[in-house]
């Protein structure tokens, strides 16, 4: 089963805003799991995932801010 989340052309600012919101949701998900966990290994794993998401966001922001025209984005979730 596939769920189409994003499909279309966006300005650089719109693309950054949309990606930022999606990454914020994912970070909040991991933060909520950290608060509920007492296993150090799980906490460290989730902290690393959060750091990777933040780094990805910085890279995406830099890339999109360098674009002068719009960008095409497509994102979906594939569930097996």
DSSP 69: S
Look up residue 38 and give its two tokens: 């007492």
- 8 A C-beta contact, residue 73 and residue 6: yes
pLDDT for the residue 68: 83
- For residues 53-69, average pLDDT: 93
Q: Which residue segment(s) compose the domain that 74 sits in?
A: 2-78
**pLDDT tens-digit readout, 3-54:** 999 999 999 999 999 999 999 999 999 999 888 878 889 899 999 999 999 9
pTM of structure: 0.83
The residue to which tokens 């799980």 are assigned = 42
pLDDT at 17: 95
pLDDT for the residue 37:
77
Number of domains in the chain: 1
From 5, 9, 4, 20, select the one nearest 73 (Cα to Cα): 9
Is the CB of residue 18 less than 8 Å from the CB of residue 73?
A: yes
Q: Strand, coil or helix: what is 11? A: coil
Average pLDDT score over residue span 48-72: 94
Model pLDDT, residue 15 = 95
């Amino acid at each position: 089963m596939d769920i189409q989340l994003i499909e279309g052309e966006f300005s650089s600012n719109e693309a950054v805003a949309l990606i930022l919101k999606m990454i914020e949701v994912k970070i909040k998900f991991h933060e909520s799991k950290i608060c509920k966990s007492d296993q150090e290994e799980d906490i460290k794993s989730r902290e690393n995932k959060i750091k990777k998401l933040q780094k990805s966001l910085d890279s995406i922001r830099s890339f999109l801010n360098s674009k002068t025209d719009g960008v095409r984005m497509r994102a979906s979730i594939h569930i097996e």
